[in-house]
């Protein structure tokens, strides 16, 4: 459909839960925020953006809350 060149976005090295390797996840720059996700280059497991964001935000929120409470 589209002949435009696709750009790939790389994540920071992150451990894949599926294959237990630390890899750089990738996704197309124009990937859909709701349907797309980060793909592991080793086992091709896809982590949806929604799931990824919830996990990250949750951990950071917990750390921040802990510091503020202390």
Residue 39 sits in the site that holds Zn ion (CB under 5 A): no
Which residue, 56 or 63, is less far from Zn ion as judged by CB? Answer: 56
Question: Within 8-27, which residues bind Zn ion (CB under 5 A)?
Answer: 16, 18-19
Residue from 57, 36, 59, 33 nearest 47 by CA = 36
Residue 46 sits in the site that holds Zn ion (CB under 5 A): no
Rounded alpha-carbon distances, angstroms, from residue 48 to 4, 25, 70: 24, 11, 34
Q: Bridge partners of 39?
A: 26, 46
- Residue 12: CB atoms within 10 A of its CB come to 7
Q: Interacting stretch for Zn ion, rule CB under 5 A, among 5-13, 26-34, 35-43, 52-60?
A: 35-43
Min dist. Cβ of residue 52 to Zn ion (A)? 14
Q: Which residues bind Zn ion (CB under 5 A)?
A: 16, 18-19, 40, 42-43, 45
């Amino acid at each position: 459909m589209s002949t435009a060149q696709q750009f790939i976005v790389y994540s920071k090295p992150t451990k894949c839960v599926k294959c237990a390797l630390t890899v750089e996840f990738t996704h197309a720059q124009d990937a859909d925020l709701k349907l797309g996700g980060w793909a592991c280059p080793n086992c091709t497991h896809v982590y949806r953006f929604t799931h990824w964001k919830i996990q990250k935000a949750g951990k950071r929120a917990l750390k921040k809350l802990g510091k503020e409470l202390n």
